[in-house]
Structure 1
Amino acid sequence: MRATELSELAAFAAVARHKSFRKAGEERGVTASAISHAVLGLEDRIGVRLLNRTTRSVSLTEAGELLRSHLDPAFAEITSALEGLNQYRETPFVLGRVIGPLLVRNPNLQLEIVATDRLVDIVDEGFDAGIRLGERITEGMIAVRIKPRLRLVVVGSPAYFHTRPMPLTPHDLKDHACIQNMYPSGARYAWEFEKDGQAIAYQPNGPLSLDDQELMTQAAASGVALAYVWENRAEKMIMSGELVQVLNDWCQPEDYLYLYYPSRRHISAAFRAVIDAMKSE
């Protein structure tokens, strides 16, 4: 199916929901005339009238009702399928919940997403925008907050704690095997803690160094060492009992995540749709 055909179907589905070209256009971010043109194109292509139009109302023909009854679950399946891909992502930001509905509402939109912990210069490397913690955003960028605050936590397996006591303060970590967290460049970064105004940065020197959150979580679950990972990355394994969270009162939320882009960048309708989708998540 061509993108134009999917766009026509999405336009029809919006009109069928709202019984209005204007409201359908508002939902899809285009004019009422663009919606009307798309539906007319669909009717011409399939050779069947789908809508009854008057100067005051829009209603579905019998054929239109039949098509709508198939389209609604089909678009719901597309959204569900795209959201289901989120389990394979390695970034703490849950893009799956945004991407699915965004592409269904904007079938002509083309997205290219690169997931990396590397500090990327989006201007030099030709990206339209990036996602980064607020503390790392450079000057000259417009930043839009897009997500509640995240938190890094310390986790280990029950088997690991069978042979070692749970750490009560970050100072106790020196007696534990701790995975070293790496940036893609190879540089290590410290485990950071804060409680009652006291800040502690601990640099692990364990036998294992990783730059992948999924591998860190799996390694911790295997009992090899403690890991310092995004809380939502380990949440399911904590709930199932595969991992145990420690030093909870020392693990404070990080800065907010932001979508950022150059202040001189022209905001196209497509890019505005992405910004609005991120803000609403």
Structure 2
Amino acid sequence: MRATELSELAAFAAVARHRSFRKAGEERGVTASAISHAVLNLEDRIGIRLLNRTTRSVSLTEAGELLISHLDPAFGEMAAALDALNRYRDTPFGKVRINVPNSIGPFVIGRVIAPLLQRNPNLQLEINATDRLVDIVEEGFDAGIRFGERVTEGMIALRIKQRIRLVVVGSPAYFEVRPKPATPHDLKRHLCIQNMFPSGARYAWEFEKDGQTVSFQPTGPLSLDDHELMLQAALGGVGLAYIWEPRVEKAIADGELIQVLHDWCQSEEPLYLYYPSRRHMSAGFRAVIDAMKAE
């Protein structure tokens, strides 16, 4: 098989995984038009249409489904064969793609990156930080990070982090004109920054103490889906923020923010690294797992 033919098949396989020329191009480090051109060349060469294309979507034809069912195992075996060569190298070689929630990424994986790459200079680490719900298999990730051990069938969950929690904070200037809330019910009299998912849906602030649970839906003038922006808004005195504790620890220690309702803020479930049980585990991915476990 010529190199151009293999490249065309790899381009088609990437489109089949992502159902997107743009995302396939991002995975392979080329433009969407280059991916489209490669797939068109493949279809012209074999004389069979593999993809249904519209302005909004890409789907596989019956022939495309058949081809990818054979290509996936073949590419998997090739990846495993290349990875086997790592035994002849001092450090692993190759790319590892990880998906992590943007809101917790800096303090979950941030400190892991530098020592991991220093120990493994031939490793290429690609981290996608988004709070959007991601199907790691469909989008071509080696692993993802999430709360809780419950994962879909065919996944392995590895605990990597102790429990962390969301806390309520406000600036000293804010509390100069408003009393500190003693219970979650007092929040109704405060300006609160609303937390949004990337979809635009708002989520409630959850509290628990002595077996009593309280769910509070803030109705303040500002809604954000980014915790760094929430931090900046809270520092500016816009209102109270419900934010991950590690993100505000320094600001609290420096007196820039004041934490309230401390005894009502309970820890979330532990963090887990999860990955497909049937996918070949490369030496590079094993190095990532070891680094996450050590951290």
TM over 0.5: yes
Matched with 2:116 is: 102
Question: 1:158 aligned to 2:196?
Answer: no
With over 3 angstroms needed to count, the CA separation of the structure-2 counterparts of 1:92 and 1:137, relative to structure 1, is farther
Partner of 2:17: none
Instruction: In structure 2, give the amino acid aligned to 1:196.
Output: D
Q: Over residues 59-118 of structure 1, what are the superposed CA-to-partner deviations in whole Å (9 max), with x where a residue is unaligned?
A: xxxxxxxxxxxxxxxxxxxxxxxxxxxxx9963533222111111111111111111111
Higher strand share goes to which structure? 2
Alignment length (residue pairs): 200
Deviations 1:240-261 (A, max 9, x none): 1110000000001111111101
Q: Which runs of 5+ in 2 are unaligned?
A: 1-85, 92-101
In the alignment, which of 154, 176, 179 is matched to residue 190 of structure 2? 176
SS of the residue corresponding to residue 277 of structure 1 reads: helix
Task: Pick closer, same or farther for the CA change 1:136–1:157 going to 2, 3 Å.
Answer: farther
Name the TM-score, length of structure 2 as normaliser: 0.64
Quote the offset at 1:221 in angstroms. 1.1
Aligned partner of 1:104: which letter? Q
Larger radius of gyration: 1
User: Which of 123, 126, 141 is 2:140 aligned to?
Assistant: 126
- 8 Å CA contact 1:145–1:257 kept in 2: the answer is yes
What amino acid is the match of 1:225? G
TM-score, normalised via structure 1 length: 0.67
Change over 3 Å in CA distance of 1:97–1:243 after alignment to 2:
same
CA–CA distance in structure 2, aligned partners of residues 230 and 89 of structure 1: 8
The 3-state SS of whatever aligns with 2:191 is coil
Give the letter aligned to residue 176 of structure 1: H
Alignment deviations for residues 10-35 of structure 1 (CA, whole Å, 9 cap, x no partner): xxxxxxxxxxxxxxxxxxxx76x755
Equivalent AA in structure 2 for residue 94 of structure 1: V
1:269 aligns with 283
Q: Aligned in 2, Cα 1:89/1:183: closer, same or farther, shift over 3 Å?
A: closer
Sort the Cα spacing of 1:110 and 1:144 in 2 relative to 1 into closer, same or farther, 3 A: same
Secondary structure at the residue paired with 2:163?
coil
One-letter code of the match for 1:158?
P
Structure 1: unaligned runs, 5 residues or longer: 1-29, 39-87
The verdict on how the C-alpha distance between 1:217 and 1:187 changes in structure 2, with shifts beyond 3 A counting, is: same
Distance 1:140 1:201, change over 3 A: farther
Sort the Cα spacing of 1:158 and 1:34 in 2 relative to 1 into closer, same or farther, 3 A. closer
Q: Does the alignment pair 1:137 with 2:174? A: no
Q: 1:154 to 1:110 in 2, by over 3 A?
A: same
Q: Distance in 2 between matches of 1:249 and 1:275?
A: 34
Q: Using the TM superposition, give the Cα deviation of residue 135 of structure 1 relative to its aligned residue in structure 2, in angstroms.
A: 6.0
